[in-house]
Amino acid sequence: MAVVNGADAVNQSSQKGEPLIIGIGASAGGLEALQQFFQHMPSNSGLSFVVVQHLSPDYRSLMADILGKHTEMKVMQAENEMSIHKNTVYLIPPKNNMTLKGGKLLLTEFVNGTLNHPIDVFFSSLAEEQKDRAIAVVMSGTGSDGTGGIKTVKEHGGLVIVQEPETAKFDGMPRSAINTGLADFVLSPDDIVDEILNFSNYPTIVKTQGEENLFSDEESFTRIYTIMKKVSGIDFTNYKRTTVLRRIERRMVVTHSKSLAEYVNLLEADTEEVRVLVKEILIGVTNFFRDPSFFEKLKYNVIYPIVEHADEKEPIRVWSAGCSTGEEAYSIAILFHEVLEELNAQRDIKIFATDVDTKAIEQAGKGVFSENILDDVSSERLAKYFSKKNEQYHISKEIRRMIIFAPHNMLSDPPFGKLDLISCRNVMIYFQPVLQKSLFAIFHSALKKGGYLFLGKSETAGEYSNVFQVLCGAEKIYVHKGEGKTDEFRPPAFNIPNIQAISPRMVSLPDRNAGSYMPETTYMNFLEGFLPASIVVNGSNNVIHFFGNYSDYISIAPGRATFNLFSIINKDLSLVVSTALNRCRTEQKAVTYTGIVVDCPAGRRVIDLTVSPVSGRGKDDSGLIAVLFVENKKMEIDGVTEKYDVDTTAARRIADLEQELQESQNDLKSTIGELETVNEELQAANEELLTANEELQSSNEELQSVNEELYTVNTEYQQKLDELTMLTNDLSNFLSSTMIGILFVDSDLNIRKFTEYVGREFQLMEHDVGRSFQIFAHSFPEEDIISDSKEVLKNLAPIDREVTSMNGRHYTLRIAPYRTTENSIRGLVITIIDSLGVNAKD
């Protein structure tokens, strides 16, 4: 690899002649974090910043004035189609969503009363516009706005930074972003600045399209692929090289690795970093009903025909390959459920949802999602197929039962077969052509004739049109032609797991693990007088102990080990043992059947069978029964002894089973009746709760949104109030310390404010504020100040002249209009200046 020194590094922002754009999302409590951030950020960084906050539509935002005091950069409220410039901070205006396109900010009004995620909206547009150069920062706030946006940023290879929850005034938004596992950094506002600057000045390893790739160290790449395969079991050799390069470059930036060789050494020493890199390469970003129009086509052009033509006795089989966290699989399941309801049909739907990322599969299996799904799932589907618990949405059990989640490498593990539909979206875009070809070969062998293939909008099967015929070209839906052939398809070699027979001695029963049947003394005391082959079974008819030469009557079958008596006993003894056990448990005494003919491996034998309760002292020994196989020996045991007759025994067993069945049916009827009553009550209560829950949920979302907006407004006003308080203090101190007398009156000549110096000449006290200036005497008997004041109010022309007070002091009197910043007249300012005092100072 050609090494680029830090001194020679070219800022990424200059490569395309445009600045890096940092999108910052904040809500309640975000003002303090933003102030700290911009105080630490240099004003000449060459970067551009777009701040998206939750603002109240009913109040004018003061954010530009407030942030402007914490940075020398220009801070302005964005306007529609405003161009982005370096070293500038752009703020979202109230009542608008903001997106980025063509280097310009575009504004669109959002509808009041609807749940709005302006941070997600901007982050998504930033990712689409800036690709791997996008930087998204999530700061203090409640809710989960920003979480959906950072998924899109990561999908395009961008950088995601989240404020450390401990430093945030409200940690809802940061924690929601962190829980996705997509954050590159979790830092304080000061440290966020340092990482952004490091990213912007990092030497670019993967150059822009058309330029020579600086990654030429094949040896290092071979080592990286080997390390990743060793840790994850996945061979990334035939993944698209540019995708792998950019993910490696991003991790080098995050880990501050100065060269590829240094990063390789880090991978060899840190297994966790290997897992992070693998996850970055396998980044799976998905949404419910991604590309909604595509799923509508899928419903009416694919799912309807599948259901209509399916045999009721045959299951409909669907494979969601590369399902990531499961949203796609659940979307397909919901569509199948809707079609079944609309057609009033009954079908067995089996959706196999697989992914190579085991953690993603674990998350998918839980069926729990954040409130970001509100942007993708309609309110009708949300109410019908989800339930909200603790600010999270849980998929309904009815939908969850349709899906089987499993970790699966589609390129090396055996595929599913006889499939009606395969959905594999946005997976092949990461593969080189050789892997894509293998994948189409797998789909060809897995689909039924007439089955369907559903791809992502950037993928196509056009090269294999003789096997996959276009059904909906724009939506990338294809029909499988089973008779189609192509020489290019070669079935890949799959890893077949080794299945080894498990020895019964190696299997530990739960009862034995718990030590429930270890008291050997109990068994030995009972069996001391019995030498024939015998076994001890528990209440579940599982054998827990063997004695003597039992192999003629008990055989362990190959395969999965089981110790259920009726699975391992000689078939000639099955009926008599079942009858004897039932009588022994019912009558609580030993039962012996004599003269039983048994075909054993060593030949035919005639034996006596004795079944007797085991009386033990341990609390876990109740229900144990000994079964003895006695040959050529008379046993003296108290209890019932009968000659074995197959017909009599069978008749007795049938009668016992009929009685048990009758009792079970009676119990079942009674239980069903009770359950129906309870179910009706629960259903009625559930409907009421659902209605109340929907209303509360809607109100809660609106209140939360309003609360965030009001908190932001309150914070801004509090900052302004502090500034005004300081300004008032400054003005009061100035007026009290000056030798100039100043009197403020309104348009009706009512006193608003005055200095102590002027109060002496006009005999004013503090409690006179608000009273009419006309009722007060003054020290200038020769002056008609009231008439002069009215004249100035009328003509707006100031009056200046020398006046003399009764004590002989000379003053300069000035009466001028009081003008506001909007140039409106709100009264007068009357000033008197002691001429001698001024001359003395001069």
Q: How far apart are CA 278 and CA 231, in angstroms?
A: 9
Alpha-carbon torsion, ordered 191, 194, 195, 197, to 10 deg:
160
Q: How far apart are CA 585 and CA 588, in angstroms?
A: 5
CA–CA–CA angle 22, 23, 24 (5° rounding): 115
Other beta carbons within 10 Å of 825: 13
Q: How far apart are CA 61 and CA 502, in angstroms?
A: 72
Parallel, antiparallel, or unpaired: how do β-strands 316-321 and 185-187 relate? unpaired
Collapsing DSSP to helix, strand or coil, 393 comes out as strand
Paired strand residues for 105: 82, 100
Single out the catalytic residue among 54, 117, 337, 408. 54
Residue carrying the six token digits 């200038």: 780
- For residue 716, the 8-state DSSP code is H
Q: How far apart are CA 159 and CA 189, in angstroms?
A: 16
- For residue 303, the 8-state DSSP code is I
Quick check: 376 and 382 in contact, CB under 8 A? Answer: no
Those residues with Cβ within 8 angstroms of residue 383's Cβ, 6 or more apart along the chain or in another chain: 690, 694
Q: How far apart are CA 818 and CA 797, in angstroms?
A: 11
No. of helices (H) and no. of strands (E), the chain: 26, 31
Q: Which amino acid is at 172?
A: G
Burial of 380-410, coded b for 16+ CB within 10 Å and e otherwise, reads ebbbbbbebeeeebbbbeebbebbebeebeb
Question: Residue 722: which H helix or E strand, with range?
Answer: helix 646-737
Those residues with Cβ within 8 angstroms of residue 438's Cβ, 6 or more apart along the chain or in another chain: 411, 490, 492
Question: Residue 816: which H helix or E strand, with range?
Answer: strand 810-819
Other beta carbons within 10 Å of 375: 15
Note the Cα 145 to chain centre separation in Å. Answer: 11
Positive or negative CA dihedral for 646, 652, 653, 655?
Answer: positive
Residue 165 Rama label (left phi>0; alpha psi -120 to 50; beta): alpha
Quick check: 596 and 629 in contact, CB under 8 A? Answer: no
Single out the catalytic residue among 13, 27, 48, 140. 27
Alpha-carbon torsion, ordered 365, 350, 281, 130, to 10 deg:
-90
Quick check: 239 and 430 in contact, CB under 8 A? Answer: yes
Q: How far apart are CA 118 and CA 135, in angstroms?
A: 16
CA–CA–CA angle 84, 88, 90 (5° rounding): 70
Parallel, antiparallel, or unpaired: how do β-strands 185-187 and 159-163 relate? parallel
Residue 27 appears among annotated catalytic residues:
yes
Residue carrying the six token digits 């109060």: 759
Single out the catalytic residue among 120, 145, 171, 552. 145
Parallel, antiparallel, or unpaired: how do β-strands 625-630 and 603-613 relate? antiparallel
- For residue 569, the 8-state DSSP code is B
Q: At what angle are helices 646-737 and 574-587 packed, to 10 degrees?
A: 70
Residue carrying the six token digits 């506001």: 820
Q: How far apart are CA 75 and CA 98, in angstroms?
A: 16
Cα first-last separation, the chain: 77
Quick check: 98 and 122 in contact, CB under 8 A? Answer: yes
Q: Catalytic amino acids?
A: 27, 54, 145
